[in-house]
Amino acid sequence: MRKTVAAIIVLAGLAIASRTVLAHHAFGAEFDPNAPIRLQGKVVRLEWVNPHTWIHIEVIKDGKPEEWMVEGGTPNTLLRRGITKDTLAYGTEVIVDGYQTKDHSLKRANGRDITFTDGRKLFMGSSGTGAPRDGSDPTEGGTKPVPKKPGGR
Amino acid sequence: MRIAIAFSLAIVASVGLIAQQKPRPDLSGTWTNATITPLERPQGVTDLVLSEDAATRMERNIVARRDKLNEPSDPNRPAPPQGGDGSTGAAGNVGGYNNFWLDPGDRVAVVDGQRRSSLIIDPPDGHVPALTAEARARQGARLKLAAGRGQYDHPEYRPLAERCLLSFGPTTPLVPNYFYNNNIQIVQTPDHVMILMEMVHDARIVRIGGTHLPKHIRPWMGDSIGRWEGETLVVDTTNFPPQQNFRGSSENLHVIERFRRADARTINYRFTVDDPTTFTAPFTGEIPFRAIDELIYEYACHEGNYALSNVLSGARNEEKRLGTKQEK
């Protein structure tokens, strides 16, 4: 019994560890830990592309507009939740904290945390896990994804 | 008597013909191999099979963790700490991006009704066998070479995934990456089976029958040939290129995969990895592929790959700042 409990604790801990953010490249090679930034501005463009989404925001600095690009994750997971490029309207004001690219001539940063101005996370308006639904769990929620096709036959 | 024998032979021949004509199981469709069961068994866990209670707690824990990470942030939060936020792994001290982009799965792997603590079933301890001395030396030499030539000095010195050339995990065997897009499309014809991984648009084409390519021909994903053993598709892959590796494997990597329909919405996938120049023993794992009711999305990795140029221009910027660039 003691062994079983220990196993549960270890596995539960491992499940958490598996949530470590990964990517197709090392973020530490791209962004400068000595250049932390906090940006607030309006969304002016979305690049809904792989391997990473880029959200362009216009920030007012010293009375002048500056366009920053903010790196997110793959859009594919959001598409499966029914979230498309049109979900985030241009003009929406957002807050971003992250680190600028190591090339400081670029106004680019990672979106370590990107939220609306009231602190809510972006794209969290609908329920659901984002995991593809296989129909085996009738309680699974989430908005319907757009493309449909029969799965394994 | 002679007539009886001839009649018996005719029956045997007919049965054989019917067996030959029986349609193969259809593996076509879209599937996911996402799971929270790790490849290797965690330290302290001895059994391959989990109790229902343990599995349920693992799954609830994942959901609770996800919900916690998706909670609102303080809108008045400052910029993150100077010098880095202490994150490790690929998020290397700068924190990566929000959890809502991720989709690592939220279920324990279930194979033949058993909830599993690891994907590896053999060796019985659930671990990848130790590396050979040769493999350890090879890894050391790789690291030395990378350090010596300057890992940021040329785009081709960057990892295959960063260059959008191959998947972010191995293409063979089909183990999950534990972060997102763990989806697979299979298209099957009598002569070929195509296995497409959503990341990074890796389409592996398996020839049914035939023999392997000559050893000097090494496609990016190796050379896969298949055969049917009853209801099971067996795929044999060799001829991996030196740039590909699975947990430190060499060009001698040999992977055997077995695809068997367990039920209308599940494929039981079993893989055996053998590379005597890398691992001290072969090892075998099992993963359930669950049918999904969706198409998989194009990945088109090159389309928005700003990261590669950002990494390289970042290195040039660092060199200017530190004055360390050696003229070549």
Tell me the range of A137-141, A143-147, B185-189 where mean pLDDT is highest. Answer: B185-189
Q: With cut-offs at 50, 70 and 90, classify the pLDDT of residue B9.
A: low
Q: How many Å lie between the alpha carbon of A87 and the closest alpha carbon of chain B? A: 14
Q: With cut-offs at 50, 70 and 90, classify the pLDDT of residue A140.
A: very low
What pLDDT score was predicted for residue B14? Answer: 52
Residue B313: which of A48, A107, A54 has the closest Cα? A107
What pLDDT score was predicted for residue B144? Answer: 83
What are the residues whose beta carbons fall under 8 Å from the beta carbon of A15, sequence distance 6 or more? B36, B58, B61, B62, B65
First and final C-alpha spacing in chain B:
90
Neighbour order of strands in the sheet with B49-50: B49-50, B114-116, B110-111
Residues of B in contact with A123 (CB under 8 A): 100
Across the interface, which of A15, A20, A37 has its CB nearest the CB of B89? Answer: A20
Q: With cut-offs at 50, 70 and 90, classify the pLDDT of residue B11.
A: low
Task: Read off the pLDDT of each residue in A55-80 and give the average, rounded to a whole number.
Answer: 95
What pLDDT score was predicted for residue A3? Answer: 46
Q: What is the mean pLDDT of chain A?
A: 76
The nearest alpha carbon in chain B to A6 belongs to: B44
Q: With cut-offs at 50, 70 and 90, classify the pLDDT of residue A24.
A: low
Identity at B17, one-letter amino acid code: L
Give pTM, 2 decimals. 0.84
Residue B55: HSE in the Cβ half-sphere, 13 Å Cα cutoff: 18
What pLDDT score was predicted for residue A143? Answer: 36
Other C-beta atoms within 10 Å of B46: how many? 13
What pLDDT score was predicted for residue A1? Answer: 42
Q: From CA B96, how far away is CA A98, in angstroms rounded?
A: 8
Task: Read off the pLDDT of each residue in B280-288 and give the average, rounded to a whole number.
Answer: 98
Give residue-wise pLDDT tens across range B227-248: 999 999 999 999 999 888 899 8
Hey, are the CB atoms on B102 and A77 less than 8 Å from each other?
A: yes
ipTM of this complex: 0.86
Task: Read off the pLDDT of each residue in A111-138 and give the average, rounded to a whole number.
Answer: 68
Task: Read off the pLDDT of each residue in A55-84 and give the average, rounded to a whole number.
Answer: 95
Q: Is the pLDDT reported for residue A16 higher than 50?
A: no
Q: How many Å lie between the alpha carbon of B2 and the closest alpha carbon of chain A? A: 47
Residues of B in contact with A103 (CB under 8 A): 310, 313-314, 316-317
Q: What is the mean pLDDT of chain B?
A: 90
Q: Which two tokens stand for residue A63?
A: 């009375």
Q: With cut-offs at 50, 70 and 90, classify the pLDDT of residue A17.
A: very low
Task: Read off the pLDDT of each residue in A25-31 and give the average, rounded to a whole number.
Answer: 84
Hey, are the CB atoms on A112 and B80 less than 8 Å from each other?
A: yes
Q: From CA A14, how far away is CA B115, in angstroms rounded?
A: 16
Q: With cut-offs at 50, 70 and 90, classify the pLDDT of residue B89.
A: confident
Give residue-wise pLDDT tens across range B71-85: 999 999 999 999 999
Q: With cut-offs at 50, 70 and 90, classify the pLDDT of residue B264.
A: very high
Residue B278: which of B139, B97, B96 has the closest Cα? B139
The nearest alpha carbon in chain A to B305 belongs to: A51
Tell me the range of A7-21, B134-148, B170-184 where mean pLDDT is highest. Answer: B170-184
CA B258 from chain centre, in angstroms, equals: 14
What pLDDT score was predicted for residue B321? Answer: 85
Q: Is the pLDDT reported for residue A131 higher than 60?
A: no
Across the interface, which of B30, B90, B311 has its CB nearest the CB of A22? Answer: B90
Give residue-wise pLDDT tens across range B127-146: 999 999 999 999 888 888 77
What pLDDT score was predicted for residue A23? Answer: 52
Residues of B in contact with A22 (CB under 8 A): 89-91, 96, 168, 177-179
Tell me the range of A2-6, A51-55, A121-125 where mean pLDDT is highest. Answer: A51-55
Is the alpha carbon torsion for B156, B162, B166, B168 positive or negative? positive
- A114 by Cβ neighbours in 10 Å (0-12 / 13-18 / 19+) ranks as buried
Hey, are the CB atoms on A72 and B101 less than 8 Å from each other?
A: yes
What pLDDT score was predicted for residue A14? Answer: 43
Q: What percent of chain B has pLDDT over 90?
A: 71
Other C-beta atoms within 10 Å of A16: how many? 14
